[in-house]
A and B are shown apart, each in its own frame.
Chain A
């Protein structure tokens, strides 16, 4: 069989990662659906191909390598560890012009020390592999917005509700509008809370959600309705943070200025500063590197820190993406956790781009 251009490009990228000290790993194409569903929720069913096996139950054609590689590392690996993999991933597409099956080459780094250096290592390796292509990298940091939310002068319940929807920008905004009083509480809720005892009714309690759970939610709603709104000033601060789209040093300066109003953001901003320094050490021209606070919020729910993407054209699928996913290792590690950062490149898109130019 003659290797396709994409396969040759994948081999080049794999060699690039092997040269950086990565151990080659692979993953089964058929992955148990349960783990993926638990991590990503129903949304994954719209993106992955599901198949049924009478013995093994529901299986998915691997939609990415990150989850099986993390699982493998958490079971067998010793850190620090660097892995590379290549193979096909399978994604359903609503746009028939987009590929449903394509090659990915990835690099994942598990390391407890010096997260800034780890972030910079992954970014710089991918940047080097793509340096001949004249792509525009964009970086972001989900941790900045998370830290800002934690600094709001409001209840933990509201902060947790906002944090839960960090990756759904429209819903995040809806909640922020509600908590700041910009949109009124729904009529049904007002009516519920006007009742002296909403639990006094004759409806049978059917299903697993118990009366105690309903009652606890009503208590939470009462607490929330008695909570003062998040102030307009604070909403403006969140807006100011989210609207930052600038070169990394300018973005950093803006965020530093905002930490006087939201002190909880300081550690995240310090981490960003450390990462920018580490990127410069790796030879990245940080003075022109784009940083957007909002970047990566709609990628995948598991990124919770540094995020990046490389595109040739803002409208097209990114050629490479990656980020830090410490929380994912905590969820898959059943108590154990290890800081991790990684990224993937699509060799097929590189070949298309080289063919077009």
Chain B
């Protein structure tokens, strides 16, 4: 069986099911909608696996699922060697969100990374510790700031309600996913004027490590063909 992993709840799951329906493949939860098992019609030999979107990168990398739908941000954050572990089959054109850096609106002197770097230097000299940026996307944010020569900052982990960390004085700035920016505005934050660190969308990925029999390979090829890969 070819194992297809999709997000197990919410808007992302609904949009994924709708996208597959457009390609002629019906994904359906079996039994009650509390049960995390499902069925696939429109092609034989494919098994549906419902997973947390955050676990799909790991399952793809380990080869426990052959195909999976998740945000490209999660793939880049969790799989540093993603080019050797997985292949992108198709962007799905929903679940759009940008990973951005945001600072308080009152920082009228900070718009660019150059400004942020200067603010970090002065902040460390004044407060005796590195300026804190709250995020859950540690790898993406660190690589980005390192590539752009920003120094004297530190990342602090925030797995939720990240926009509130500045008000709570557990961070001075945040790096988070946003689609509309409404939460940022409500928390008195503004994005830097730079391009986003990463433009994310729901994407179908294939594992490069999952083993396949001859029969599974032909099912896989047929499925990828239907999905436009």
What is the interface of chain A, defined by CB distance below 8 A to chain B?
Answer: 37-38, 41-43, 45-46, 94, 96, 161, 164-165, 168, 170-171, 174, 178, 186, 188-189, 192, 198-199, 201, 203-209, 211, 213-214, 216-218, 220-221
Contact = CB atoms under 8 A, between A and B. Distances in A.
25 contacts: A42-B130, A43-B142, A43-B146, A46-B139, A46-B142, A161-B121, A165-B151, A168-B149, A171-B117, A174-B114, A189-B112, A192-B111, A203-B108, A204-B105, A204-B188, A206-B166, A206-B188, A208-B123, A209-B119, A209-B123, A209-B131, A211-B106, A213-B126, A220-B118, A221-B109
Given A165-B149, A207-B167, A217 B111 contact: no
How would you classify the secondary structure of chain A's contact residues: helix, strand, loop or mixed? helix
Nearest to B173: A207
B155 interface: yes
B130 A41 contact: yes
B142 A186 contact: no
Interface of B: 80-81, 104-109, 111-112, 114-115, 117-119, 121-123, 126-127, 129-131, 138-139, 142-143, 145-146, 148-149, 151-155, 166-167, 169, 171-172, 188, 193
A69 B228 CA distance: 58
A179 to B, nearest CB: 12
Nearest to A207: B166
A168 B106 contact: no
A319 B191 CA distance: 44
Given A168-B151, A208-B169, A213-B122, A199 B146 contact: no
A188 B155 contact: no
Given A94-B80, A213-B126, 11 more contacts: A43-B142, A168-B149, A171-B149, A178-B114, A198-B108, A201-B106, A206-B167, A208-B123, A209-B107, A214-B107, A214-B108
A46 B169 CA distance: 26
A216 B142 contact: no
Question: Which A-B residue pairs are the 10 nearest by beta carbons?
Answer: A171-B149, A188-B111, A203-B105, A203-B106, A207-B166, A217-B109, A168-B149, A205-B106, A198-B108, A206-B167
Given A41-B153, A94-B80, A168-B151, A192 B108 contact: yes
A208 B105 CA distance: 13
A38 B129 CA distance: 8
Contacts of B148: 171
B175 to A, nearest CB: 12
Contacts of B122: 213, 216-217
Contact of A42 (B107, B126, B149, B155): B155
B127 to A, nearest CB: 7
B114 to A, nearest CB: 7
A209 B145 contact: no
B105 A214 contact: no
Contact of A41 (B80, B81, B152, B172): B152
A201 B149 contact: no
Contacts of B188: 203-204, 206
A188 B145 contact: no
A161 to B, nearest CB: 7
A12 B130 CA distance: 42
Nearest to A301: B151
A43 B151 CA distance: 9
Contacts of A218: 108-109
B109 A41 contact: no
Contacts of A206: 104, 106, 166-167, 188
Given A37-B154, A45-B142, A199 B81 contact: no
Contacts of A174: 114, 149
A303 B131 CA distance: 24
Give the residue among A170, A206, A214 with the most B Cβ atoms within 10 A.
A206
A227 B207 CA distance: 56
A205 B104 contact: yes
Contacts of A171: 117, 148-149
Contacts of A161: 118, 121
Nearest to B143: A46
A232 B112 CA distance: 26
Contacts of B139: 46
Nearest to B145: A42
A201 B153 contact: no
Given A189-B115, A207-B172, A214-B109, A41 B149 contact: no
Contacts of A217: 109, 118-119, 122
A34 to B, nearest CB: 10
Contacts of B153: 41-42
A198 B145 CA distance: 27
